[in-house]
Amino acid sequence: MDRPQPGTGVAPARPAASRAAALAALDDLQDAAADLGMDEATGLVDAVVDDLGHLLVDLAEGSSAPTPRPRVVGAIGGPARPVDHASCRVAAAALGRVSAVLAAGAPVWAPPAGVVAEKLADLLIQVADTPRGGQLSPSARGLVVRRVNALSRRLRSLG
* pLDDT tens digits, 47-56: 999 999 999 9
What is the pTM for the complete model shown? 0.84
Q: Is 119 helix (H, G, I), strand (E, B) or coil?
A: helix
Distance CA 128, CA 35 (A): 10
- Residues 6+ positions from 49 with CB-CB distance below 8 Å: 29, 32, 33, 34, 91, 95, 120
pLDDT for 13 equals 46
The Cα 37–Cα 82 span in angstroms is 5
Q: Average pLDDT, stretch 48-77? A: 84
Taking the C-alpha atoms of residue 156 and residue 67, their distance in angstroms, rounded to an integer, is: 11
